[in-house]
Structure 1
Amino acid sequence: MFYPLTVRDFLDRAELVYPDRVGVVDEPDQPAPSRGSRTYAQLAADARAQAAKLDQLGVPVGARVAVISQNSARLLTSFFGVSGWGRILVPVNFRLAQPELDYIVAHSGADVVYADPELADNLAKIDAPHKFVLGEDDDLYADGADPRPWDAPDEGATATINYTSGTTARPKGVQLTHRALWINATVFALHAGVSDRDVYLHTLPQFHVNGWGMPFGVTGLGGKHIILRKVDGAEILRRVQEHGITLMCGAPAVVNSVLDAAQDWDGEIPGRDRVRIICAGAPPPSRTIERVIDELGWEFMQIYGLTETSPIMTVNRERGEWDDLSTADRAKRLMRAGVPALGVRVGLDTDGEVLSASNHNLEGYWQQPDATAAAQAGNWFHSGDGGYFDDDNYLVISDRKKDVIVSGGENVSSIEVEDALMSHPGVREVAVIGIPDEKWGELVTALVVTNDDELTAEALIAHCRERLAGYKCPKRIDFTDDLPRTATGKLQKFKLREPFWAGRERGVS
């Protein structure tokens, strides 16, 4: 007997087992009317009503539905209301600039675009057959109507397309199937020890690799979702105290924001011996991990992966053998990317590039067969990261072979930033690199050769902001007389990076 795995399985189970339990508490402070507290029965009804509305619009199975939003209960609903009935969800980074939004909607061929009220002006400029502002629920949901069944549920069908910055100036659309999302969410939940007693705080953007799969795993196991619209360290601590948070995910910048807020917190830090915080994007310094353990009293866990791997590849969580070690020794061990997650094979090619094979790697890049073939050569996914296995068989990421900077947990294409800078008439040459930064992991830095002595760093950053999302824009610009190149004219970025990374064991943060 064969039963296809689809993302709706998670919501169906929650509705069956925990119908009267509060499943999600929406962000109270947002421009749209808050959905408040929704039971799992109500969340399932919302998903059905959304699917029924898409039926009424004539949106077929396999059509793309884009959502441009900060974290919200409506976005959480869309993971099920869109993909659960056979359409393809395209969660879009709300920080992107208008040209980037236009490109993603056009490239994905989205029939429907939902947008946060703060992005209503952006939505008005987007070309799509159907456009809706989230919060205008009379337009979003066909309440009381039953959606048409997905006649032939297919676990091999694309469930989401997640756009990621890579080595090209244009983002690539990563196709993730129902099977990939189902297995990733289940494996991640297993390693994180998710249960029906968990209260999950959405500190991680839900658009980011589908919240790493937690929207599915926490739902299927009956945990409670607490929506956080904007990351703020003090507000995170308040939510931990108010809702009894036990679990959250985020980039190192989230960890740092909580540690900073804890310095001014009045009274005992909430969540001690209860909260698990899972970090990815870049390993924070061992001292930061020590502070999480000692000052917050929270468990620190790290995963490594990419959008193309759904994302979990490796896991690093404290183990019994470490119980008698000092906090400093445990923190040093937790800095590593980790060991392969269940069902994942991790290897290295002859150049030290990290490879993975699993049941939740990407199906392909949307409408980019050549890029797909290159990424999956030899039936392995090629990560673009360089690494090695230490004596304990833990993976350590030591280098980035692709021209990508990871800043605040987000991938930034150096080439994309260079293109934006080169469009300024005062720029003759430019190289964009990542340099170590305690807060962001890596700081987007541009080294510029100019033909205009009056050109300022502030003017160049403002120029970039008209073309790129804010997080992609350079935070630092250094002017130089020339850039090192090979005899054939190829830019030698390793020479530009050397002074910034000197004395460090690794060339990445």
Structure 2
Amino acid sequence: MNLGTLFQFAVERHPQYEALVQGEKRFTYAELNQEVDHAAAGLQSLGIKRHDRVVLVLKNRLEMVILYWAIQKIGAVFTPINFRLTAEEIEYCVKDAQAKAVIYEPVSEHAVLAAVHGMDTIKVAVLQARGADIQYEELRHKSKQPLVRSESDGDDLCLMLYTSGTTGRPKGVPRTHRNEYSAAVAHIIQNQYVFQESTIGVMPLYHTMGMRSLLSIALLNGKMVMTPDYDAETVLETLEKEKLSCVYLVPTIFHDLVYHPKFAQYDLSSLKKLGYAGAAMTKALTEEIFAKLKPKVFVNHYGSSEVYTFSICDYLDRKPGCAGKPGFHQRLRVVVADPDGGSTPEDVVQTGVPGEIIVDLRSQEAFQGYWNRPDATRKAIREGWYFTGDMGSFDEDGDLYVLGRVDDMIISGGENIHPLEVEDVIAKHPKVAEVAVVGLPDQRWGEVVTAFIVAHDPQLNAEELDEFCRQSKHLSNFKRPRKYVLVDSIPKSPVGKILRRMLRDGYAQPSPTKKESVS
């Protein structure tokens, strides 16, 4: 069994159901399958075969979806990367993957052509991008031979995702057909999806969240609506127009939607099932989502590219911010945190004590090691457990709370302080739009708790924020920020994760009209 076969099953089951939409273009499952077969046969005619890696540097457009299924049908390995990467970063990924082909579009054309200059990698262009060996439209009609279906099995690789590489070179995460199928099943169960769900393709398809939406919706004969260029108003319009039933997004996008000035103008009554992942969500935003969207299902999904599901929480009304219980295929532990990799799976901490979250690798959702990176594999995988690098703790109910990265922990005056617990308090201030907390070096304290804040109200100042924190019943005084920096924006990754390292390195400068304040 492989994903190409499962897609064929979906096509035969409900060929007339709508499958893929982008703008005015609409495809049923039967029509999409025809496009997929044309593209697959064209790729085969270029010499791309089972096990070959194909790097894609595209936005979230319908061609990306067609090529995903085409690559599955021929048994190659779909290897998507961020279309915003530099030529140097693309070159690294193409060489590391030993890619047989690279597929790109105008937005990534310059970087791709510089990256692969002198290589014998096949170049395929979408939307008439220049410098290619063949255009996508030509590819669809190139093959004179019918498609020869691959005999891939469950242990063959079907996907390779590259991690963001914020702490060094990006790492390839190879995933098998069995991994991806299991992750899709878990996603369907954990989000309570049913046949003919419909969703928006706004999460990047070079990210595990985008992959989950694509695969789970297809297995359920659902509808995927692609949005190559993201902005909040476009998403709101699409949700209303297409009457979409479910979304799986990062907190940043939820924030953009519910706080959009035109939010109340849109009828989102069809939207019943919400899921988020990729970053922490503040209690304030969780409460706003419940109030404005009134979801039937609202799930916090905690996981990674490597394993997919760690845990889920679908009772966020009772426990906002909680990561909940282990997922459908999973069990968890929290062990003594050691950034140098000295902990073992037996170093379990007590309830309520923060430590590093580790997950059982016997899950069928789990990878078995990084691509060409035995050093990273040795550090991450120990005695059958995946060491996530995330800090967390269990409460008395056995529910998991994620507290940030092991290397994000602030140690001030010998006390351990986790950014999320401080951010949750500050985010409740009515004049705060966004907040990120880090530890900055301090001669006396070692690190000083520092809050970077984007304000709704230009009159907000550090003294008002500090008084708000002093009055909070949920923040011990030693955890209160000693420095507040009002900024115009907070640096984030393409999927909405706060880039705390950039804050520590001085990326975010104070707004010109505001000054830093230390209390």
Q: Which residue of 2 aligns with 1:245?
A: 244
1:225 is the counterpart of 2:246: no
Letter of the structure 2 residue corresponding to residue 61 of structure 1:
R
Q: Calculate the TM-score normalised by the size of structure 2.
A: 0.72
Structure 1 distance, partners of 2:126, 2:215, is 21
Aligned match for 2:291, one of 289, 294, 304: 294
Letter of the structure 2 residue corresponding to residue 356 of structure 1:
V
Structure 2 distance, partners of 1:212, 1:306, is 12
In the TM superposition, 1:166-177 aligns within 5 A as 166=165, 168-177=167-176
Structure 2 distance, partners of 1:185, 1:283, is 22
Q: Which residue of 2 aligns with 1:8?
A: 4
Q: Which residue of 2 aligns with 1:132?
A: 124
Structure 1 distance, partners of 2:63, 2:80, is 12
Q: In terms of mean alpha carbon deviation, does 251-260 or 54-63 score higher? A: 54-63
Q: Which residue of 2 aligns with 1:350?
A: 336
Aligned match for 1:362, one of 357, 363, 367: 367
Contact 2:203–2:209 at 8 Å: present in 1 too? no
Structure 1 distance, partners of 2:195, 2:33, is 17
* Structure 2 residue matching 1:23: 3-state secondary structure: strand
Structure 2 distance, partners of 1:231, 1:255, is 13
Q: Which residue of 2 aligns with 1:146?
A: 146
1:75 is the counterpart of 2:64: yes
Letter of the structure 2 residue corresponding to residue 50 of structure 1:
A
Contact 2:209–2:248 at 8 Å: present in 1 too? no
* Cα distance, 1:232 vs structure 2: 1.8
Structure 1 distance, partners of 2:409, 2:221, is 37
Structure 2 distance, partners of 1:394, 1:469, is 25
Q: Which residue of 2 aligns with 1:115?
A: 104
Structure 2 distance, partners of 1:84, 1:402, is 41
What percentage of aligned pairs have identical amino acids? Answer: 22
Structure 2 distance, partners of 1:121, 1:445, is 38
Q: 1:203 to 1:443 in 2, by over 3 A?
A: farther
| Unpaired runs of at least 5, structure 2 | 128-134, 338-354, 411-418, 428-432, 443-490, 508-516
Q: Which residue of 2 aligns with 1:400?
A: 405
Structure 2 distance, partners of 1:197, 1:25, is 14
Q: Deviations over 1:247-277 (max 9, x none)?
A: 111111101110122x33454x422373322
* Cα distance, 1:65 vs structure 2: 0.1
Q: Which residue of 2 aligns with 1:202?
A: 201
Letter of the structure 1 residue corresponding to residue 359 of structure 2:
S
* Cα distance, 1:25 vs structure 2: 0.1
* Structure 1 residue matching 2:319: 3-state secondary structure: helix
Contact 1:289–1:300 at 8 Å: present in 2 too? no
Superposition CA RMSD, Å: 3.2
Q: In terms of mean alpha carbon deviation, does 134-143 or 181-190 score higher? A: 134-143
* Structure 1 residue matching 2:103: 3-state secondary structure: strand
**Greater RCO (Cα-Cα under 8 Å, separation 6 or more):** 1
Q: 1:283 to 1:196 in 2, by over 3 A?
A: same
Contact 2:83–2:107 at 8 Å: present in 1 too? no
Q: Calculate the TM-score normalised by the size of structure 1.
A: 0.74
* Structure 1 residue matching 2:258: 3-state secondary structure: helix
Structure 1 distance, partners of 2:440, 2:271, is 42
| Unpaired runs of at least 5, structure 1 | 29-33, 319-329, 406-432, 449-464, 480-498, 503-509
The total of aligned residue pairs comes to: 411
Contact 1:200–1:226 at 8 Å: present in 2 too? yes
Structure 2 distance, partners of 1:41, 1:347, is 45
Q: Deviations over 1:397-433 (max 9, x none)?
A: 124125699xxxxxxxxxxxxxxxxxxxxxxxxxxx9
Structure 2 distance, partners of 1:372, 1:230, is 35
Q: Which residue of 2 aligns with 1:333?
A: 319
